[in-house]
Structure 1
């Protein structure tokens, strides 16, 4: 399962911190950001994904996040 999110993460350092936090909740997942995209895309490839949890983790760290449809 692959899920794509729109975020407001701007810096590589921020994206690395978010990836580390997400991997604690979703181990064995492939998680990456495309900060060159205007929507600052977050992609997560995992067997099970909780959109609500992912959005909550980013929000708890001061970032905006929504599912990109």
Structure 2
């Protein structure tokens, strides 16, 4: 499953912290944040099905905005 989210992550440091938190909380195949995109797109690929709300809650608890990108 692949989740695609809009965030407000702006720095490499914050991006790395978010990716580390997601990777330690979920079985992740790939995780990235595109800091150059206007939506600061977070992509999470997991072999198992996950609830997108879980990713949103985790990122929000880290202090960032996170919403499903339509």
Fold match by TM threshold 0.5: yes
CA distance in 2, matches of 1:17, 1:64: 14
Aligned length: 69
Runs of at least 4 residues off by over 4 Å: none
Q: Is the 8 A contact 2:6 2:67 kept in 1?
A: yes
For 1:40, the equivalent position in structure 2 comes to 40
CA distance in 1, matches of 2:13, 2:67: 20
TM norm structure 2: 0.91
For 1:24, the equivalent position in structure 2 comes to 24
TM norm structure 1: 0.92
The alignment status of 1:52 with 2:53, answered yes or no, reads: yes
Report the Cα offset of residue 7 of structure 1.
Answer: 0.1
Unaligned residue ranges in structure 1 (runs of 5+): none
